[in-house]
Structure 1
Amino acid sequence: MNRFELILGHDDLGVTPLENIFINHYMPVARGDYVKVYLYGLKRCFNQGLAPINNADIAKDLNLLETDVKKAWEYWVSEGILSLECTGTRDALVRFYNITGSILYKNDTHPETIAPKRQTPTNAKEDRIRRMYDTIQDMYESRTISKRETMLFKRWMDDYNFTPEAVILIVEYSLNMINKKERTFTPAQVTSYFETVAKGFYDAGVRDHTEAEAHIRKSADESQSYYQIFKYLGIHRNPMVSERQLMDTWFKDYGFSIEIITQALSRTSKPNMKYIDGILKNWHEQGFKTLEDIQKDKPKPRWEPKDKTEPISDSRKQAYLDMEVEFAEDLWGELEVNDEDL
């Protein structure tokens, strides 16, 4: 018996027939990611020479999450145009139906369709990671998480030891900060911003969501303090790195509160960062810690009065009197006036 086989040589040379009824009625109402998964699977139906793949491989090829691929299969099963039979934890047999034929012969039975049930992860962390990606995807709304971002978040968990919940907070914090900017970020700039923020959290000792929340609150308080100082100085911009480092020295190294720093600001008519740093450094070296300590440090006047003349001692007074007696006759003799001269 003869057997027939079409040799393509390359997947790009193949042809995938797509029913117009799918294009006209199913595609317009489905999510774009679901359509991508359907077409990808349909293509493989017509090229059996391709090596078998699982959902993770499909997600990688289509730049999607594996959870998105699973949701796409479940969606098309619910639409009745394919069936899914689980053959293992990560393997399944996907059967694509001829849509027109299914409608014309709807009374005929299809092979039993077994919709995949969500597997209970053997590792609780896998479920937390899945929820992490789902939560981040919800933050993105219409945009799909890119493959680069997926790998970035995974690297954070591997290299920075972030928990999935910490990753969620870092991404949420970063997106909020980006949305406050007055310019548009490209996808590459968004990813770069994510990495910068994550590195800052890591350097601050953040590992889990509790530490992430505390760091976010602390950062908000610091930003408010920076704003108050710059407002007093009449500076209407964000502080530069060097300026933040200088102010951090006042808060962290010297242990001064914003009230004490405000006292330093009030001690000059034309305050500037360098001058204020000099005042605070002096207070730190003197061991000042509270407002009460600061109040004792009276600002020095611009000029100091000369020392008062020491009182004349009794012995010196007597010497002056003796001198008067000794020279009195000579002094007054020259000034005497006789009546005859008048």
Structure 2
Amino acid sequence: MGKLVIDRGNFTDLTSVSNLFIDEYMPNANGEFVKIYLYLLRLVSGHSTEITTDALADLLCFTESDVERGLSYWERLGLISLSRDEDMHVNGIRMEAYTTNKFYVKSILNSSGSQVSARAVGDTFYGNYEDVNSEPALIESIAPANAIPAKRKYTSKEISAFSKDPRVQQLTFLAQTYLGKTLNSNDVNSILYMIDGLNLSSDFIEYLMEMCISSGNNTLGSIEKSAVNYYKRGITTIDDIKFDTKIRKSIYKSVFKIFGLTDQNAAKKDVNYISKWTETYNFSEDIIVEACNRTIEHTHTASFPYADTILKGWYNNGITELSQVEQLDEEHAKEVSEKFSSLQASKASKASNKSCSASLKKFKNMDERTYDSIELEKMLLSSTNRK
């Protein structure tokens, strides 16, 4: 594939984006959150000082809740600082400029248009910020973008505000139903941390909750621990969990080992093949392993399509046990032998027929002589008289 050459042409109306943001923060962020942050940079570069979350939501075709989640995400990473009113709604945004280790105040967006300052990176703010001088304030560095967001204890005021969130209401109800008890403050903190701290969707948390409880982990603390472990590995959707659960089964590990793969470099299409073999064909591990071994033996490559061809043939022949595979091999070998013998006999017969045909043709090609009976009689009489 050839290189792409980008010509900036006459493009002069620019919004500056830090390379550090692109290299360190953007790859791990939700695409919607990236759009929010980029538009905030656009406002700053255009010297805009006023914006509302509902206007931002309308502009980006998000819900206002999505916008607030995105702002909270960037606040936790230290790229912005937020102020909130008594109802926990965002009413001020500060953009933080940064280098590798230190972050500085760059610009301010406030509903009133006045300058505001942060107390510290990562704090949750209430009310308006205090006015500050125009000199940028040095702010301590924060954890890298891929670090697990620190858990904190939510205040009663925050819990009260979050309790109005339909997601929190639903998860609280489900947790109480599944666990059969009224949640305590630690349980509520676990739910809020998963939603607000880890930015996980309510559907993801609900699925994880059901999965953990069904496996005997009957506390929100253990559910939270599972959520953190998944978050560390970049697993944040239900499909991700299902995929991860599949590849950790014995059959998947066995196939990966034969084909020289690992959990990390297994492609979804390859996993789908194995799912087909186990769920559609309903084959046991030993049959699938045998097909994979034969694939390597014949192709010397990790070819899932080739293995699928073998297993599809066995499935169509009604194979359910490995011993039947051996029997099918014997029948196939016998059939091949019979076909070979028949072919050899056919060749011999054709060769014989060809020889006879050639002799007959040669005989037919000999000069044919015709005799007149009267002339022949005269010849005989003449010969007798001479004697």
TM-score normalised over the length of structure 1? 0.38
TM-score normalised over the length of structure 2? 0.35
